[in-house]
Structure 1
């Protein structure tokens, strides 16, 4: 079920595509950063545990 965009179809579909790519990038960056922070926190907790 594709809506009819007429002469603007290329522009609209390109905009949707760019939006999806940007959203995927933001989600990936968030997940990667979250994993980095989690590792850093775990390392810090281990240092605190070892230092007493």
Structure 2
């Protein structure tokens, strides 16, 4: 790792915040995808049942 000098805290905290935001986006995307998939399955079953 390069020597960041007096900016080390700022740069490392920016990396940490970026990683946390990326992880949060992935988790929210997976969570929403599962929710939408479940809702779509319910709609498809209702259409299949009602004709």
TM-score band (shorter)? over 0.9
Task: Please give the TM-score of this superposition, normalised by the length of structure 1.
Answer: 0.95
The ranges of structure 1 where at least 4 consecutive aligned residues each deviate by more than 3 angstroms after the TM superposition are none
Query: For residues 37 and 11 of structure 1, what CA distance do their matches in structure 2 show?
Result: 39
**1:3 to partner: Cα distance:** 1.2
TM-score by length of 2: 0.97
Runs of 5+ unmatched residues, structure 1 = none
1:7 aligns with 2:6: yes
- Structure 2 gap ranges (5+): none
Give the structure 1 partner of residue 17 of structure 2. Answer: 18
Distance 2:26 2:5 in 1: 32
Query: Number of aligned pairs?
Result: 51
Match of 1:35 in 2: 34
